[in-house]
Amino acid sequence: MGELRFDGQVAIVTGAGGSFNLGRSHAHLLASRGARVVVNDLGCGPGAHRVEPASAEAVVEEIVAAGGEAIVDLHSVAEEDSAQAIIDAAMSKWGRVDILVNNAGFGVRAEFDEISSRDIHRVIDVHLMGAIWMCRAAWPHMRKAGYGRIVSTTSGGMIGMAGMSIYGAAKFGIYGLTRGLATEGAALGIKANALSPGAATNSFGHNFTFADAQVMKGFKERFPAEYVSPAVAYLSHESCAVSGALLNAGGGEVSARLVTATAGINLPGLTIEDVRDGIDTIFDESAMTVVTDPRRPAESGGHSSVTPMMVPKAYQPG
């Protein structure tokens, strides 16, 4: 069916300055297929928790040396104005934004009652608010063009992992954002998807290790960042067939994570005891439906007949 390319398109990849991180790999792959790339990274700024310094300049030099086209951006995604500046850099240089890859972030592994208030704010500001501000800044340009692709990074930690409650909350928030944008973008030519990566990166090394050195060596060999980037690139491509999806990618494997609903119980005059007595039926997996189908992002599944009849009222700014 031919090679998937991005000739003439402009991509922004945040958090792309690490020496062996996901963003760098995404930027390299997109550039190698013809995209002009804004390589964004704050470097070792406050709260970056880096094992080693990140350099957007070095990544741009690598891309250019390989025959690609890229520019450097050093703004933070965590504030509205600086996120806008990242989008403005692409518009100023090339006059368009086709692809936004929300990859910027850092990990803090700490128990819920251990993590500092400052780190809570940092995690939420960079991961969740960073994705929101970046999408807000890119959205008007994509809407005007009638085209756009947004790919945001989530994590397996969003499903629940000890020491990752705040991080998981931010990442699940990103999935909620993705579903909302997919729904709103369905009529605008804008597709938004999320991806949970599994890779041996700087962030992993800061928060986890393996007691056995051979296991660590095997992990690094099996899960390089380069094995995640093809899924990101596909979701960034004009031929992408889904929106509102959550993919899991790592080690050469790609799967979909779906939100489903069971048939449950439906009893008029429901009581507390009905819920207690029906708990096995409520969790019965034999009859489940997909609630968030990425092939139909504007629809919500489940069993409620009320949602389709709801009429939205005009927004009243607070």
Stretch 191-217: mean pLDDT = 73
Signed CA dihedral, 179, 167, 14, 84: sign only: positive
pTM of the shown model: 0.90
pLDDT at 215: 65
Q: What is the mean pLDDT of the chain?
A: 89
* Distance from the Cα of residue 73 to its chain's centroid: 20
Catalytic residue positions, numbered: 167
- Using alpha carbons only, give the angle 306, 311, 313 rounded to the nearest 5 degrees: 140
pLDDT at 75: 96
The letter for the amino acid at 213 is: A
- Cα 210 to Cα 213: distance, rounded to the nearest angstrom: 7
- Grouping H, G, I as helix, E, B as strand and the rest as coil, residue 233 is helix
Stretch 220-243: mean pLDDT = 91
Confidence of residue 47 (pLDDT cuts 50, 70, 90): very low
Domains and CATH numbers, the chain: 10-256 (3.40.50.720), 260-309 (no CATH)
* Distance from the Cα of residue 264 to its chain's centroid: 31
Confidence of residue 211 (pLDDT cuts 50, 70, 90): low
Tell whether the model's pLDDT for residue 221 goes beyond 70.
no
pLDDT at 48: 46
* Phi, psi at 192, each rounded to 5°: -125, 130
